[in-house]
Amino acid sequence: MTLEGKRVLITGASGDLGKAMAHTFLGLGADLALQYRSNSSPIDLLLKEAEKRGREAFSVAVDLAEPDGADRLASEVLRRWPSLDGLVNNAGGARPQPFDEITPDAWERALHLNLTSPFRLLQLLLPALRKQGGSVVNISSVAALTGGAFGPQYAASKAGLLGLTRSAARDLGRYGIRVNAIAPGPVESAMTSSLDGPVLDGIIGATALRRLVDPREIAETAAFLLGPGSAVSGQTLVVDAGRHFI
């Protein structure tokens, strides 16, 4: 597998999955645009790694939950790169809340971050992707399939991302653009490591493999979907250690 010379934008690059994907893609020869909101320390390390590997990389600090966040990010990427090989819509999240405590603002913020911004980025970057017949990977969640435990605003927006994936794949295939989604299950991360022992044990016990997903496993799946020569499009790959079966 190689991504030699491919230009790839990763959103949410400072998080556990974003960092794993950036490391993996750099190792496969990609050049990277790295979006993050506020945590610059991991981004600085990634930029240094890219320099050591002789790869081009740059970062853009922008909040994709803000109304103009996706527009500002796309503008900066297009200013530097007129063509793009890959887009990974990885930025996302929501604060867990009981159903009856979710405010309209919390609902709108989750939908904007998890669904509207990925749509807007794809729309704005489409001319650059068309030049290369690029590949888009949307990072959804098994919560889109099960409802999850992060609240309806998270599950609904991540389920919407799966619908966007299928619709975009159908419409953009004529340009040679492939669009797929990954639905991660419980990932080994700072968040899961902070959980109470019994809660974490219950999560692990509900997986067929009796373990958490390593972020590198998500990164390797994304690299496969970004790589050349694949006929996979419009699909959702569930990577959850066997927690949910479809």
Annotated catalytic residue 175: no
Higher pLDDT, 190 or 39: 39
Closest CA to 125 of 167, 79, 190, 62: 79
Q: Give the CA distances from residue 62 to residues 59, 76, 151, 165, in Å, rounded to whole numbers and listed in that order.
A: 10, 10, 25, 23
Residue 246: which pLDDT band, with cuts at 50, 70 and 90? low
Q: Please report how the helices 152-172 and 117-132 are oriented relative to each other, as an axis angle in degrees rounded to 10.
A: 20
Q: What is the pLDDT of residue 7?
A: 98
Residue 147: which pLDDT band, with cuts at 50, 70 and 90? confident
| Structural domain count of the chain | 1
Task: Average the pLDDT over 222-231 and give the result.
Answer: 92
Q: For residue 29, tell me if it sits in a domain.
A: yes
Distance CA 169, CA 90 (A): 18
Candidate list 25, 36, 81, 154, residue with the active-site label:
154
Specify whether the CB–CB gap between 170 and 234 falls below 8 A.
Answer: yes
Given a cut of 70, is residue 165 above it in pLDDT?
Answer: yes
Q: What is the pLDDT of residues 19-70, one digit of tens each?
A: 999 999 999 999 999 999 999 999 999 999 999 999 999 999 999 999 999 9
Specify whether the CB–CB gap between 19 and 13 falls below 8 A.
Answer: yes
Residue 95: which pLDDT band, with cuts at 50, 70 and 90? confident
Q: For residue 25, tell me if it sits in a domain.
A: yes
Q: For residue 154, tell me if it sits in a domain.
A: yes
pTM over 0.85: yes
Q: Would you give the end-to-end CA distance of the chain in angstroms?
A: 27
Q: For residue 245, tell me if it sits in a domain.
A: no
Task: Average the pLDDT over 101-121 and give the result.
Answer: 96
Domain, as residue range, for 78: 7-239
Q: For residue 72, tell me if it sits in a domain.
A: yes
Q: 130: domain CATH number?
A: 3.40.50.720
Q: For residue 44, tell me if it sits in a domain.
A: yes
Q: For residue 86, tell me if it sits in a domain.
A: yes
Q: For residue 133, tell me if it sits in a domain.
A: yes
Identity at 30, one-letter amino acid code: A
